[in-house]
Amino acid sequence: MPEFPVDIAAAKAAARRRPTGGAAVAVAFAFWITMAGTTAPTPLYPLYGRAFAFSPITVTVVFAVYAVGVVAGLLLFGRLSDQIGRRPTLLIATALSLVAAAIFLLAQSVTVLLLARVVSGFSAALVTGAATAALAELIGPDARVRPATIALFANMGGLACGTLLAGILADLAPAPLRTPWWVIGVLALLGLLGVATSRESATHRSGFTWQVQPLHIPGEIRAEFLRSGMAAGAGFAVLGVLTAVTGLFLSTLLHQSSHALTGLVVFIAFACTALGQLLVRAVKSAVALPAACLGLTTAAALIAAALATTSLLPLLAGAAVNGLATGVALGHGVGAITTRSAPQYRGASVSTFFAILYAMLAVPAIGVGVLIHLWSLAPTGQIFSLVVGVLAMGVLLSLRGARTKR
């Protein structure tokens, strides 16, 4: 999900060397399949629950440890591609994606699923910064299609397509807990081979040093950083809960057994998140965050209505609106950091921003799992929707208060 700031001078130097387009395609594909592997388990959770006899709270924990892996990867190895190069980092990330698929393929217990999710989280953390920087260097800033746009579609497109692909395969192919991972594994192997045959794009490598990435909230835009983080975090919380429990909602309340339908709901959410990040470029900065807050509130109401009426249409609409609003809030926050914060702290600021978002992706999902275990899905989902709506409205009111003070 993250988009990291790129050294423009290095990107222009790389562009002058005219690297082959094949290398950019290989990097984009490796980025796409690595991210696809992170959401592929989503439609399979009900099957895993029946196979290993675990509860909804276990599903949310299995989902949430992915975010733990991402945050740990960002903090521990966020600068790895600057230190050892884009190509080696991409090789490690894609190899980890392949390893995660193999672990899922052989999984026979919840413990093994947890391990697979952590490995998957590390792969996502490593690939995001390395692939985004490599695409900027390989394509160059003067290309007709912006490198950031290609990175966005590889990133969010992978997140969207992984769940849909796994759902379709689980419905149509034999061995629904094995076939999706064979396909993901083969595609990850192709991505690994593609990166292995491409060349290094970085013009400078500092050499590996072990250093935890320090967290940093930029003082010059502190209020905007926190408001964007809270708004985007609310949207990420909804994405996390949708990813973790959509299958449970469809199977228990709607009596829908289609895994592809579960994949479709999450596909819509992530695809619209990508669209929201594109839309924010055409929206005035002063309008972006208020619009995102209104969208998040509307999405929360739609999801609550879906639970109250046990209807699919409001759930689909809620997933779409939440995705758009989350993408706008995310794009606004990253844009503010990369253009208005101190250059020497931008990397740390971006890492801090996404650490907040991934924490919001994981923690509410676990909380929802606990409440489902204590009560049931419908009231838990409605309470969660209310909390998201209140948080979004709180950000909106704080924006109005700040403008009144001016």
Q: Where are the domains of the chain?
A: 1-213, 216-406
In angstroms, rounded to a whole number, what is the distance separating the alpha carbons of residues 24 and 273?
Answer: 23
Condensed to tens digits (0 to 9), the pLDDT of residues 191-242 reads: 999 999 998 887 777 777 777 877 889 999 999 999 999 999 999 999 999 9
Superfamily of domain 216-406: MFS general substrate transporter like domains (1.20.1250.20)
| Same fold for the pair 1-213 and 216-406 | yes
Alpha-carbon distances, residue 197 vs 53, 183, 313 (angstroms): 43, 21, 46
In this prediction, residue 202 carries a pLDDT of: 74
pLDDT in tens, 75-108: 888 888 888 989 999 999 999 999 999 999 999 9
The one-letter code for the residue type at 58 is T
**Closest alpha carbon to 255 in 37, 46, 88:** 46
Per the CB < 8 A criterion, the answer to whether 129 and 81 are in contact is yes
- pLDDT of 12 reads 47
Q: Which residues of the chain are under the pLDDT cut of 70?
A: 1-20, 402-406
CA distance 240 to 367: 11
Q: Which CATH class is domain 1-213?
A: mainly alpha
Neighbours of 307 (CB within 10 A): 22
pLDDT of residue 346: 80
As a whole number of angstroms, the distance between CA 91 and CA 133 comes to 14
**Confidence (pLDDT) at 148:** 85
pLDDT of residue 37: 98
What pLDDT does residue 209 have?
78
Residue 263's pLDDT is 97
Contacts of 387 (CB under 8 A, 6+ apart): none
- Report the mean per-residue pLDDT for the chain: 90
Predicted pLDDT of residue 357: 93
The single-letter DSSP state of residue 253 is T
Q: Which two tokens stand for residue 248?
A: 């449970």
Instruction: Determine the pLDDT at residue 172.
Output: 96
Question: What is the per-residue pLDDT for 19?
Answer: 45
Rounded CA separation 256/262 (Å)? 9
Q: Which residues of 20-30 are buried (b: 16+ CB within 10 A; e: fewer)?
A: eeebbebbbbb
Structure tokens at 199: 């060349």
Looking at 107-178, list the stretches that DSSP marks H as alpha helix, in order from N- to C-terminal side. 110-139, 147-172
